[in-house]
Amino acid sequence: MRAVLRAAPWFGGEPSAGLLEAVDLLDGVWRVAAGEFYADRQAKLALGKSAPKGSQRFLNRAIEQRFEAASWDVQGGRFIKGSTWVRITFRHQMSLGSDLLDALKVAKKTDVRQVAILAASAEALATISPNDQHALTSYEKLSAAVQDLAGCMDIPLVIGQLSLRSPLPADVARVVLADRPRDTYVPSTGRQPG
């Protein structure tokens, strides 16, 4: 994954060394997650089982493993090392306020000197989670919320846009990047059989 960083409108600082390390750790994580998604999907389809449509859980696991290996404290999508706190979110858009509140609390109540929230672009979410892409927190929604908070917050906040950039093997790309239509809901007619 690739992360493009931008400081909140009220914060004039540069990304911390810890945040730059976090961005480096994300490099190649999409390739790992996509490979695991592909293997799991193909195995389940071969057995006639329901196969995963989205790769979000594989991506979460690959990110957590990468950060743990680099000695970051990992707590459910929140990563802390030294004086840097990073939230990588693939959560429902209703949790965006909670993520911003977490960043505020960490910045005000701990020794953390920089907080960051990273979210995938809307385009990336279409591949990561085709069923839920519109309901998840995208970078575009995050950016709009942060712009709206100008004048209300003063924490050292950096936001980041995550995109999928790792080159994938052809067989993996064919499956992972293929259109996986959103599941549809068919309402019941309310009639009872017989």
DSSP for 91-131, written as a single string: SBGGGHHHHHHHHHHHHHHSS--EEEEEEE-HHHHHHH-TT
Within 8 A by CB and 6+ apart from 96, the residues are: 89, 137, 141, 142, 145
Q: Can you tell me the distance from the alpha carbon of 191 to that of 82, in angstroms, rounded to the nearest whole number?
A: 61
Q: Can you tell me the distance from the alpha carbon of 130 to that of 23, in angstroms, rounded to the nearest whole number?
A: 25
**Which residue, among 160, 176, 158, has the nearest Cα to 168 in the 3D structure?**
176
Q: What is the DSSP letter of 193?
A: P
pLDDT at 181: 61
Going residue by residue through the chain, which has 194 residues, state the pLDDT in tens, using 9 for 90 and above. Answer: 999 999 999 998 999 999 999 999 999 999 999 999 999 999 999 999 988 888 999 999 999 999 999 999 999 899 999 999 999 999 988 899 999 999 999 999 999 999 999 999 999 999 999 888 899 999 999 999 999 999 999 999 999 999 998 889 999 988 888 876 655 554 555 555 55
pLDDT at 188: 56
Q: Can you tell me the distance from the alpha carbon of 168 to that of 80, in angstroms, rounded to the nearest whole number?
A: 29
- Parallel, antiparallel or unpaired: strands 84-89 and 157-163: unpaired
Q: Can you tell me the distance from the alpha carbon of 83 to that of 93, in angstroms, rounded to the nearest whole number?
A: 27
pTM over 0.85: yes
Please name every residue paired with 2 in a beta bridge, in sequence order, or none if there are none.
163
Domain boundaries along the sequence of the chain: 2-176
Q: Can you tell me the distance from the alpha carbon of 63 to that of 30, in angstroms, rounded to the nearest whole number?
A: 9
Q: Can you tell me the distance from the alpha carbon of 158 to that of 168, in angstroms, rounded to the nearest whole number?
A: 29
Does the 2-176 domain belong in CATH 3.40.91.20? Answer: yes
Amino acid 70 reads A
Q: Can you tell me the distance from the alpha carbon of 164 to that of 114, in angstroms, rounded to the nearest whole number?
A: 25
pLDDT at 193: 52
